[in-house]
Amino acid sequence: MKSILTSLLLLLISVYLIITAILFFAQSSIIFFPRKIAAHQIPFLTQFKSNEITIDHDGTSLHGWFIQNEMNPENPLIIYYGGNAEEVSQNLYDLDKFGDHSILFMNYRGYGNSDGRPGQNALCADALFIFDFISKKYHISPEKIILMGRSLGSAVAIHMASQRQVKAVLLVTPFDNLINIAKKHYPIFPIKHLLKHPFLSDQIAPRITCPMMAILGEQDQIIPNERSLALLEKWGGKSDYLIIENVGHNTISHTQEYWLAVNQFLLSTKKISN
């Protein structure tokens, strides 16, 4: 009997160690889900051909769409950062819902028509390079820029807000750090020691003084509301949030309440002077 229990224990330990190794070595594939442009979208995207933009960063070609309208402190540029499985051209279907704002949709490396492989350091470095490139080329000062990040993109937006003094930040289903999110989904594993892409937004947030608005889904099972609210508690400037009832992580933007909140926040930023 003792030998059977010992064998069973050794088996459980072996399985645990194997899964731990998989989580460590395959974590990039677990965190990032690069999506290419779907074939059915190509006819729709032809109307935005003149808005396509390609930026080279250290030999990596990054592709997206720049919808350029008049920009000033009252009508700033929105730079959008998508989720971990989001190919950002999908947002062009909702372009009219952003009003007259100029918007930059850039796919992360490995997503859409962007080259390379995603990772925390790469995404943050790309975001900074793109921000400075657009600012310089089109003469857009930081106070004319709002950062909008969804899910994983919230961490990229927060990183950028800590590097450049922007007008405001709008976050959709944000999180405090990826360690806490991973602990929820993999509670018995030493996540803190395994994670190579921790996205520690809560450590950066206290340094950011620009206004921030967060939009949360009441039934979000991927990023629990408490993780979003933990981030807000750390924010260095004025922050506010809205929880939309009866929606989850991936359905939040399908509601009228979501777009009303987005536009109310954008309208409120017109009163902000940097």
**What domains can be seen in the chain, in order of their start residue?**
32-271 (3.40.50.1820)
Three-state DSSP class for residue 232? helix
Give residue 164's pLDDT band: very low, low, confident or very high (50, 70, 90): very high
pTM, two decimals, is 0.93
Average pLDDT over residues 50-69: 96
Instruction: Report phi then psi at 239, rounded to 5.
Output: -140, 155
Token pair, residue 166, equals 């922007």
How far is 257 from 243, CA to CA, in rounded Å? 10
Query: Which position has the higher pLDDT, 199 or 188?
Result: 199
Grade residue 48 by pLDDT with cuts at 50, 70 and 90: very high
User: Which residues have a Cβ under 8 Å from the Cβ of 164 and sit 6 or more positions away?
Assistant: 128, 131, 142, 145
Rounded CA-CA distance 218/9 in Å is: 40
Calculate mean pLDDT across residues 12-37: 84
pLDDT at 5: 73
Q: What is the mean pLDDT of residues 66-81?
A: 85
Calpha distance 250→173 (Å, rounded):
9
pLDDT computed for residue 261 by the predictor: 97
| Between 74 and 59, residue with greater pLDDT | 59
pLDDT score at 201: 98
Pairing type for strands 60-67 and 168-172 reads unpaired
What's the per-residue H, E or C state across 11-53?
A: HHHHHHHHHHHHHHHCHHHHHCCCCCCCHHHHHHHHHHHHHEE
How many residues are present in the chain? 274
For residue 244, give the amino acid letter. Answer: I
User: pLDDT higher for 68 or 15?
Assistant: 68
pLDDT at 52: 98
Say how many C-beta atoms besides its own lie within 10 A of residue 260's C-beta. Answer: 13
Q: Please determine, for residue 51, whether its predicted confidence score (pLDDT) is greater than 90.
A: yes
User: pLDDT of 180-198, one tens digit each?
Assistant: 999 988 888 888 888 999 9
What is the reported pLDDT for 129?
A: 98
pLDDT for 1: 62
Percent of the chain exceeding pLDDT 90 equals 77
State mean pLDDT over 235-254: 97
What pLDDT is attached to residue 273?
58
Arithmetic mean of pLDDT, 249-272? 92
Least confident of 15-24, 134-143, 184-193, 212-221: 15-24
The pLDDT, as a whole number, for residue 71 is 67
Q: Residue 76: name the closest of 143, 136, 131, 135 by CA.
A: 143
Neighbours of 222 (CB within 10 A): 17
Alpha helices in 89-173 (DSSP H): 120-137, 152-163
pLDDT of residue 22: 81
